[in-house]
Structure 1
């Protein structure tokens, strides 16, 4: 990947515009069909200028996903700080996932699994998410939403495995995201909810 530390403000701005344009095209159409030529033409720049900033589609995809994941983490962290209960966070994440999935082509979801650098990025994110999710579960226990006699680390591993299974088996091609949440995530969640947690979960399911 290129070293862009010494770029001018204009080039930094252009870099951001390229990234946003490329990701919009990738998400809507899939990665394969979008050419570097298409991205350059959309921005009114030469392909040479584009290659001065990004080596190719894999770098664009990597940087775009890294930026997206960082922003997503920040959104969820902000909701964590301002929400009354962990159940409010779950509802927010559910709505966020459904909306993102609605805007994303199935080709994009399938094709991003073929890029080695992207897989490394996902692997690193899963490791970080593991610790964050355990913290989330502990908060739920403190709030009386989750049982205090369950192994939180094992629960975190289970949900990570569910997410990996959905991705590796491309269940998003067969099922809508709200069904995956309801029949996989929420059914699993019920197993370690207290009576108080179940009441809140039922409220969430009605709002869904």
Structure 2
């Protein structure tokens, strides 16, 4: 394919130095939206207005992009989580709310249909994503709740362990259009399209059953 001279820089121009990251981001957006199996390399190329050859210059194929995307997702999540947990300027109340929101927003895009698709077509990638979703948020969340229990803000019983599982499960379900479709007329039709609002409502419900009176007094 004949190389086209680079046009003058514009706001939408793809920076060659960040092209692999842009490829990953575009591909993962398509995978989450349409399902991994339904997306082909041509779709990714079309999304970025580049050639398939350019994609293959960076990745061996769609499966390689997927694995890189999962690792990029994990890195971004951990970076954001650590920034919240290590922020000494945040009160416990602010830290807890920020971390819960971080979990919710991060995982709201990963719906059940996407995971089922991966389980059938890319079992290794599915296992990596499943392990990450199960282990990492729970570990960091438990660390934060243990801190809250030490200072008397969180109930020091099995409630907080249960709360972790309830929250993660609720966020994954209430931001999944396929799950919400099972309850026509019962839940707002646009709930899956407003993940932040939905997640904030879940946070409020969760905290009422987990926090002590001391938390509300201070």
> What TM bracket, shorter-length normalisation?
0.5 to 0.7
Q: 1:157/1:80 Cα in 2 relative to 1: closer, same or farther (>3 Å)?
A: same
RMSD between superposed Cα atoms in Å: 3.6
Residue equivalent to 2:137: 129
Q: Deviations over 1:12-61 (max 9, x none)?
A: 74322321332344455554554311322444543244235334334323
Residue equivalent to 1:196: 214
Unaligned runs of 5+ in 2: 1-14, 181-186
1:1-208 aligned at under 5 Å gives the runs: 13-27=18-32, 30-82=35-87, 83-96=89-102, 109-113=111-115, 114-115=117-118, 116-125=123-132, 126-148=134-156, 150-151=157-158, 155-156=160-161, 158-160=163-165, 162-164=167-169, 167=172, 172-173=176-177, 174=180, 176=191, 177=195, 178-179=197-198, 182-183=201-202, 185-198=203-216
Is the CA contact (8 Å cut-off) linking 1:144 and 1:194 kept in structure 2?
Answer: yes
Distance 1:53 1:40 in 2: 12
TM-score by length of 2: 0.63
Unaligned runs of 5+ in 1: 1-9, 201-208
Is the CA contact (8 Å cut-off) linking 2:59 and 2:65 kept in structure 1?
Answer: yes
Higher normalized helix content (fraction of residues): 1
* 3-state DSSP of counterpart to 1:145: coil
Superposed displacement of residue 66, structure 1: 2.3
Q: Deviations over 1:75-98 (max 9, x none)?
A: 122122225333212332455467
How many residue pairs align between the two structures?
A: 182
Distance 1:15 1:132 in 2: 29
Distance 1:31 1:137 in 2: 35
Superposed displacement of residue 140, structure 1: 0.8
